[in-house]
Amino acid sequence: MKKLALAIICVFCIASCTETKKNTSEKIKGSLAQSFGKINELSVIIDNELWTGSLGDTIRKYFGAEVPGLPQEEPVFSMRQLPTEAFTGLSRRNRTFLKIQEGEESKVYVANNKYATPQLGYVITGTSQDEIMRLIQERSADMIKKYKKLEMREKQSRIKKSVEYIPQLKEKMGITLKIPSAYRIANEEDKFFWLRKDITNGDMNLMIYELPMGSIPKDSNTIAKIIKVRDSVGMLKIPTNSGKFITEEAYAPYLYETKLDDKFAFETKGTWEIKDRYMAGPFVNYVIDDVANDRQLVIEGFVLAPSVRKRNFMFELEAIIKSIKFE
């Protein structure tokens, strides 16, 4: 009788252990893997014959549109096309993807963290190629905005892994920024900072300074006043061997309205130049209304990188700037 009881207990123990292992295995199998991919790279899942036709041209027109404010043409996303049958295994773990397919109805499906995390995918289904192109035309702006938001969070997450804490920014300017440790202080004054990062054949830069509240008002002359201020500060604070560091005169910068740390800001994107030296590059300038401190804070990123693509350099500078917190 004792042997029978012992045998029953052993059976229950084995069953319990087996069930525990099964549950653990299912939990591991059911959890999402870490996504991967280069910043601003979009996987496009579409059959080869569609990619080389008018549908592919439409995708490239919207998702490969030119980034505003760069001196050379560069696309919003670098696209990597995959045929449908190749979208398996590791290829499904790319952080962003766009899947195109024909079906019985026309719709856009959001695939959020479907195969990995963090991940954002869109599946566009249409009853015809014309229907798919219509959906792309109507929905692409919102899709791109959300793709870029995810890419910005990813870039800021990578920056956090190696942050340089600069206490002077808090002490003198009343702000904090998530700045990579590769940046150094090139010039520090009471209400002015210039930070630099060396890159191959060039550098990446941040300028931070403040203006009296109302220096840049919202009116028909806003862009002209921003240019005037940045040129006067640039000529005074950014040393050059010869020439002046100013806004490129041939093309008007792009002006937007946005918010940083819940504060209204003007966002200006354009090209700088050093007069008479044939040197130029992109800049992004933010004028932030800091009402609590009765000032407008200006923070600008600009890049010198001759003969190389600059989209991702500027994206890093924007990621740093958008991490701003007012103390």
Over residues 229-270, the pLDDT tens digits come to 999 999 999 988 778 899 998 888 999 999 999 999 999 999
Q: Among 159, 192, 218, which residue terminates a domain?
A: 159
Are 142 and 192 found together in one domain?
no
Q: What is the CATH number of the domain that holds 133?
A: 3.30.379
pLDDT > 70: percent of the chain: 91
- Which tokens sit at 59? 């995708």
Residue-range definition of the domain harbouring residue 110: 33-159
Write down which residue in 144, 159, 174 finishes a domain: 159
Beta strands in 220-305 (DSSP E): 245-247, 254-260, 263-274, 279-290, 295-304
Same domain, 173 and 208: yes
Q: Is residue 18 within a helix (H) or strand (E), and if so which, with residue range?
A: helix 2-30
Task: State how far the Cα of 257 lies from the Cα of 311, in Å rounded to an integer.
Answer: 21
Domain boundary among 123, 141, 159: 159
For residues 155 and 191, state if they share a domain.
no
**Backbone region of residue 286 per phi and psi (left: phi > 0; alpha: psi in -120 to 50; beta: other values):** beta
Residues 171 and 318 in one domain: yes
Is there a single domain that holds both residue 69 and residue 183?
A: no
Domains in the chain, number: 2
pLDDT above 60 for 11: no
Query: Is residue 24 in a domain?
Result: no
This prediction's pTM: 0.88
How far apart are alpha carbons 14 and 2 in whole angstroms?
18
Q: Please report which helix (H) or strand (E) contains residue 149, including its range.
A: helix 129-159
pLDDT grade, residue 30 (50/70/90)? low
Element (H, E) at 230: helix 222-237
Asked whether residue 133 falls in the same domain as residue 201, the answer is no
- Whether 19 is covered by a domain: the verdict is no
User: SS3 for 177?
Assistant: coil
1 domain residue, yes or no? no
